[in-house]
Amino acid sequence: MPKIKKKQESSSADSDSGPEDRNPPASKKAKANAGSAGAAKSNVADSGDGENVWTLEGMRQVRINEFRNVKRVDIREFYQKDGKTLPGKKGISLSATQWRKLLDMADEITRALEA
């Protein structure tokens, strides 16, 4: 005897398409083009909250941040979202001791780079 398939009732609330409010992620090409707009600036700028910002290239910036009452030199890639500049995952945060040690080694690193 053949099985009888029941018709499924469809409702407007059931949907397999997933959430409709998600935006597709931005392409990497768009990020690369946005980052090259302000290339080669070396001026000190104000980030809007009273801290100094030095732009290395594009969206790569050096900032002085305070974390747990300790000042740190933060070298990081930033990105734009909703008109705000936010820190990305790519970067390093150096303590004052580590920053001074890096500066002490700067001449030696430069000579190795030029060799």
Is residue 17 in some structural domain?
Answer: no
Is residue 84 in some structural domain?
Answer: yes
CA 80 to CA 85: how far, in whole Å?
A: 5
Is residue 81 in some structural domain?
Answer: yes
CA nearest neighbour of 36 among 56, 61, 54, 57 = 57
Residue 50: DSSP 8-state: S
CATH of residue 35's domain is 2.30.31.10
Tens-digit pLDDT profile for residues 48-62: 565 688 999 999 999
CA nearest neighbour of 78 among 69, 67, 86 = 86
CA nearest neighbour of 55 among 39, 32, 66 = 39
Is residue 19 in some structural domain?
Answer: no
For residue 107, what pLDDT is reported?
96
Is residue 105 in some structural domain?
Answer: yes
Tens-digit pLDDT profile for residues 22-44: 555 555 554 444 444 443 444 56
Is residue 53 in some structural domain?
Answer: yes
DSSP string, 12-24: TT--SS--SSPPP
Claim: this prediction has a pTM higher than 0.75 = no
> Domain range spanning residue 110?
30-114
Alpha helices, DSSP H only, in 1-115? 28-35, 96-114
Is residue 38 in some structural domain?
Answer: yes
Domain total in the chain? 1
Is residue 106 in some structural domain?
Answer: yes
